[in-house]
Amino acid sequence: MLLKEYQFRCVVGAETHLITIEEWVKGLAVWPRRFRVRLPASSRSDAKTFYGATCHEAAEKAESFFGR
């Protein structure tokens, strides 16, 4: 499987989060959309995966999760 990675910084309040977005380019993958963000589990939440049709859509979904 061939992936591209993009990184964004997301500032929510006093916290800065680094978001890595993966783009599925080629190969066997079963993703509902072309881009995905995987957030690891923390003491406050379970692991989450967000998908988007565009890189920015996936980033916005992850950012809205941090801001909840």
Domain ranges of the chain: 2-66
Q: Match 């990184």 to its residue by tokens.
A: 7
Distance of CA 57 to the CA centre of its chain: 9
Check if the beta carbon of residue 62 is closer than 8 Å to that of residue 44.
Answer: no
Per-residue model confidence as pLDDT tens digits over 15-43: 888 889 999 999 887 889 999 999 888 88
Check if the beta carbon of residue 66 is closer than 8 Å to that of residue 17.
Answer: yes
Rounded percentage of the chain residues whose pLDDT exceeds 70: 97
Check if the beta carbon of residue 37 is closer than 8 Å to that of residue 65.
Answer: no
pTM of the model: 0.80
Q: What's the chain's average pLDDT?
A: 88
Alpha-helical (H) ranges within the chain are 55-66
